[in-house]
Amino acid sequence: EIQDDELFFDVMSTFQTDFTDSTATGEDFKNTAEDVTGMDFDQFFDQWYYGQGYPRFNFEWYWDDANQSIHITSTQTTTSSTPLFDMLLDIRLLFLTGSDTTITIHQTENVNEFIIPLDEEVYDFYEVDPDNWTMEYVDGISVIVEETESPAYFTVGPNPASDYINIYFLNPTAGDRSIVINDIAGRKIYETQISDSQSRIDVSALPKGVYTLLSSDGGQQVVKRFIK
């Protein structure tokens, strides 16, 4: 949380000096850390000291070759008593060249999306928390299959979505289209037929996550991703 080794050891040294030959509590350590660093540790202690459980993660990622960036969707689940652990998390990535790098993401919500530009193409989301700095459990890491590229066919938004998505077909004479929404596991959760050039779909009941929207006119199929 402090992200500064020298400052962290200053905290530890001060705490040891102030409470030598006496009894100290977690609140005493929190107060010392705040005094030395000037930081506010209320949220950290509420989650990690007074809270219950630990964070579990699912990661979905893909490499965007056109923009030379990795897209990561990080989903955190916890217990009801501690609904979120706001935390920094290191991720080790491997490049096609055989070299690697470690990036740091900041989980501030149960579902976060990150777009991180990199100089080399990533081929493997290799390791989460490689140096074991934090306490977490990784339930799964999935590669998202790249969507079919056909920007003239339709667009979808807002993305990320909250209560609804709008679908705009740029070829209004294409006729009836089949619309299917699948979750990240490939399960069909919605299907309809659309004949108009635009349509609104209610997604308010969907849980947070990444979804694919497939449009088919009987011949061509186009797939887009959206985040709820």
The predicted-structure confidence for 102-134, as pLDDT tens digits, reads as follows 999 999 999 999 999 999 988 889 899 999 999
The domain ranges of the chain are 5-48, 56-143, 154-227
Query: Starting at the edge strand that comes first in sequence, how are the strands of the sheet with 69-77 ordered?
Result: 111-117, 69-77, 56-64, 137-143
pLDDT of residue 33: 96
56-143 and 154-227: identical CATH topology: yes
0.75 surpassed by pTM: no
Whether domain 56-143 has CATH 2.30.29.30: the reply is: no
Q: Which fold has domain 154-227?
A: Immunoglobulin-like (2.60.40)
- Binning pLDDT at 50, 70 and 90, where does residue 151 land? very low
Q: How many CB atoms lie within 10 A of CB 82?
A: 16
Selected residue with higher pLDDT from 46 and 176: 46
Q: What residues have CB less than 8 Å from 46, skipping those under 6 apart?
A: none
For 192, counting Cβ atoms within 10 Å of its Cβ (0-12 exposed, 13-18 middle, 19+ buried), the class is exposed
